[in-house]
Chains A and B, each alone.
Chain A
Amino acid sequence: MAMERSQEVALIEAAAAGCRDSADRLIRAYQGSLYAYLLRLSGRPDVAEDIVQDAFVRVLANLDRFDPRFRFSTWLFTIAKRLFVNASQKFKPVYDSEIVGGWDGDAQSPSRPAIESEFRGSARDSIGRALLKLSVEQREIILLFHQQEWPIAQIAEYVGMPEGTVKSHLHRGRKRMRRFFEQELERPAEWAMNEGAVERA
């Protein structure tokens, strides 16, 4: 839901003053995009749901610290990303030979947090699997640019990288995804089936 900046600031001020309705409107304005981002980032609906809830609770509990010169979405997504990183570290490694063995070219190691593997195992749609072929940095930049439609400058601020590096990640990420789809084309039936599944979802 697009929201005017002035309207957003007014909602934040009211929510900071303890207005439940304003907090509710803020949640409804951003929960969809945050959930979609985390779902694609993690590949797991349950993880995305938990992080969305936790991120909103933290942000709303500390609204008086919000600096209105910055974007609320950047702050919210930053908190969510930290929670995602923390969550991924809590998962114990799972050595699923079928899952891990099925991935190539991604510098896998058994010590890599198993949430990655778990995410991969649960990602059944092609785009989800293509995303999970990417490094976390590439994945989040692809998502922020193509899914959240953030401008490059905002992404650079969010990930703490120069804009050129962000673009480089973007290009490499897309190239990697293309390569994945080329391989998928060799299995057209599965591709079609998975595409259909995504659309139904």
Chain B
Amino acid sequence: MKRRQLLQGAAAGAALGPWVHTLAQDRYAKYKGQTIVVNYPAHPHYDQAEKLFAEFTAETGIKVERDKMQYLRMKDKQVLEMGKRGNGDYDVVVYVVMWKTEYVKKDLLQPLDGYFANSALADPAWDQKDIIDRYWETNALVGGPKMYLPGPGARPYGIPFGAETGVLAYRTDLFAKHKLAAPKTYDELLAACRLMKDKEGIGGLTSRGQTGHQVTAAWLLHLTPNGGEVFDSQWRAAFNNAQGVRAAEILKEIVDTGPAGIPSYGFGEMQNAFLQGQAAMYLDSVSIFGPAQDPAKSRVAGKIAYAVHPKGSKHSAQSGGFAMAIPKNARNKDAAFLFMQWMTSKQADLKIALAGGNINRWSTLDNADVAKKYPIELPALRESLKIANPDWRPLIPEWDHISQQILGQALPDVITGGKPAKQALDAVVKAAEDVVRQGGWLKA
């Protein structure tokens, strides 16, 4: 089905070629000379995307001013700006997917379906179906079941950009030396961790661990593959059941056999530890593909292979990343939409992927040049996308608070050995249930 649509679209596009081009010029003409302000993270994908801004301005006449920040601090500033009466400073905000429901609940974002239906602005060649469906479901849609899942009621509020799933990366040289195969299960993963620590003296698996959002994300990675969940179907706490505790214990073992300093690791430190050779394995976002090949960033280029997230009782990989959205109080909404549409178009996505950014579209994933650049990465990415799970964490509006202040405060005790996992998780059940009760999820 998809292929045929693609071919049809391509044929139509080719036939309409010159006319489409003229239409495109008309699309941007009204906004020539405007400046839009984009708030986005300092992140490898966006570092590459930035390089296309000049091309966008040359083609459309719309200037781009950017405000780059650390991604966890973006939210404070974004909420401040988007909450202002009158116009806020930002025309485009990039959100981390876990904020999407909170932003929509506080009515801060402009729904996008109106723009896609607007023939004066929408690009017929843009093709929403070409965007990797998992990413569209996880990053763009709000309003469906549980508010964050695809399904009836879901509408797009953002366009995935810098979207990601999870992948396992490992050092081929070290694994070959010890005659290890790529870990397929959690048992194999943990055995490899212990071996690397004992025999090689370096960390087994690098991991996030910093108090707050990071340590929760690290724990979540191991939760769903081992059959756990944060809340059960009635929204009572399930994170302290046997599977949740097991996931926390797995995390502790990873920290014990990992590189030094994990409890203070954010995303950057975690990725860096692998790229600088302090850990033998990496299990996190696919945004590592680009930096891993870059000799300026990576000491281990050429010595890496990729595999899917290991299986516990089932396969489940993370799904998420970033998306671009338009604040309700933005000054230049139309120009903002045109910018977002252009940056996520097929051509732009391809260029960014070839420069080392994330792949957001099937057409990019199927492209021959991209395959040449990422011969070992793409097969792993395809397999990972099959097991990417939009429900690997409950992205309700209250999630950020739970992740940072409740679970994010309980898990550090586990990984530093301060408390046993069961005790640490039991201690925050009441706080977590209070929050979901206040949010209206948990009845009585």
Partners in one complex: no
